Amino acid sequence: MRILLIRLSSLGDIVLTTPVFAFIKEAVPDAELDFLCYTQYSAIMAQYPEIHRVLCFPKQEMTRALRRMRLIRFWRLAKSLRCDLAARRYDHVIDLHNVTDSALAALMCPKAIRTGNRRQLLTVFFAHRLRLEDRNERAEMHASLIAMRTVLESGALPAAAALPILPKSAVFFDENARAEAERFIQVQSLAGKKLVGIYPAASRDYKRWPAENFARLAGKIVDTWGYAIVLLGAASDRALMEKIAAEIYTQCADAAIADSAGEPISENVVIACGLDLPVVCALLARLDFCIGADSGLMHIAAALNVPQVALFGHSSLLKFYPLSDKARVVRHDLPCSPCTPQCARKCAHRICIEGITVTEVWREAVQLIAEYYPELVCSCGRSAE
């Protein structure tokens, strides 16, 4: 049996589909699984042992071609995608994304049994149109379980297959990525230091904790435990990272803070932006713990079982909680949360995320350190205040 799974983006959502791979292979060991995603995520998806082939949807190239009125180029890209999908002759195509792009890709697979969510209008041409509530403000189960439920109801698996109680996501990277991460650590003079990762960026502005709060928190971490701070993000996040680094320098200069070895604080704050995704995964695996926003990096850290403190604002904790028992979540339970992306975008106060205080996150970080690195708490003898 040949099955195509479609989840085009974003990074965190793709990571949350990974429990589906083992779920299918356990039920149908000889199933041949392919995965379709946007091109920028293909490098990380190529590492999964259950995936036979990763196909790329060249969205960025197609968009550029349209903007420049290069219609022949656009047509060739679309035709190439259609030919690649048609040539695979899938038995089942399961749309786990339910957007127009993913539905159109599913329709490019002739004779396949297609499954999707009936909220996507193009599923009128699908064999199975499911009524699964997957919207942020109305979701009734975790995103991984929604994906598994979609697969289960597609008819691709035996009727005896059952959903797991607690799914587990996974992330893989090869030795080249590991070597690149080690090279980065050496070049940045981080070898031998205790490392904490901070990922302040998120796919949307309304999911971000204020930059000055991250800076204050990072200063306290360096002052108390002597950790080196690794600021992680995409190339487009560099301005945000530089702002946070500058805030850390300013605060630490005012407080005359140095690390436990007496080194200047500036040597203990490193910006890691624009690295290839597999290298980012390898770098995350090298960290002692992480703190950051509800983002793709949060879900990668959870998949790697790295201890972390995750900050939730408008997002549904039920749907997006990190799949790791080493994750702690800071969230305010407000009557208006979770909400729709439209409401979050228009919200004037955003108290769900901006109302989280540095003290709240600091307390969770202290408890995380106490649980996994108790020798540091004993040696510094400081309280959480």
> What are the pLDDT digits (tens) for 127-156?
999 999 989 989 999 999 999 999 999 999
Spell out the residues 6+ positions from residue 382 whose beta carbon is closer than 8 angstroms to its own.
224
Q: When comparing pLDDT for 203 and 44, which is higher? A: 44
Checking if the pLDDT of 188 tops 70, the result is yes
pLDDT at 380: 57
pLDDT at 249: 81
Checking if the pLDDT of 61 tops 70, the result is yes
Checking if the pLDDT of 68 tops 80, the result is yes
Amino acid at 51: I
Checking if the pLDDT of 309 tops 60, the result is yes
The per-residue pLDDT for range 102-129, each reduced to its tens digit, is 999 999 999 999 999 999 999 999 999 9
Report the alpha-carbon angle 132-22-12, nearest 5.
60
Spell out the residues 6+ positions from residue 369 whose beta carbon is closer than 8 angstroms to its own.
225, 289, 376, 377
Q: Could you tell me the pLDDT band of residue 222, with boundaries at 50, 70 and 90?
A: confident
* Strand boundaries in the chain, DSSP class E: 2-6, 32-38, 51-57, 92-95, 113-117, 128-130, 195-199, 228-233, 269-273, 289-293, 308-311, 327-330
Checking if the pLDDT of 204 tops 90, the result is no
Q: Cα–chain-centroid distance for residue 229?
A: 20
Say how far apart CA 219 and CA 245 lie, in whole Å.
10
Kindly report the pTM of this predicted structure. 0.93
Say how far apart CA 19 and CA 96 lie, in whole Å.
13
Checking if the pLDDT of 255 tops 50, the result is no
pLDDT at 383: 45
H helix runs in 28-174, sequence order: 42-45, 59-67, 71-87, 100-107, 143-152
What residue spans define the domains of the chain? 2-152, 175-380
Amino acid at 355: G
pLDDT at 259: 40
Q: Identical fold at 2-152 and 175-380?
A: yes
Most distant CA pair in the chain, distance: 69
Share of the chain above pLDDT 70, in %: 94
What's the CATH number of domain 2-152, 3.40.50.300, 3.20.20.70, 3.40.50.2000, 2.30.40.10?
3.40.50.2000
Q: Could you tell me the pLDDT band of residue 381, with boundaries at 50, 70 and 90?
A: low
Say how far apart CA 302 and CA 283 lie, in whole Å.
14
Amino acid at 219: G
Checking if the pLDDT of 297 tops 60, the result is yes
Among 284, 351, 257, smallest CA distance to 312 is for 351
Say how far apart CA 199 and CA 206 lie, in whole Å.
15
Checking if the pLDDT of 360 tops 90, the result is yes
The per-residue pLDDT for range 87-104, each reduced to its tens digit, is 999 999 999 999 999 999
Checking if the pLDDT of 375 tops 80, the result is no
Say how far apart CA 219 and CA 259 lie, in whole Å.
10
Give yes or no for a contact between 229 and 265, defined as CB atoms under 8 angstroms apart. no
- Specify whether the backbone of 176 is left (phi greater than 0), alpha (psi in -120 to 50) or beta: alpha
What integer best gives the mean pLDDT of the chain? 91
Say how far apart CA 313 and CA 332 lie, in whole Å.
7
Amino acid at 7: R
Average confidence (pLDDT) over 287-292: 96
Average confidence (pLDDT) over 347-356: 92
**CATH T-level topology, domain 175-380:** Rossmann fold (3.40.50)
State residue 339 phi and psi, 5-degree precision.
Answer: -135, 175
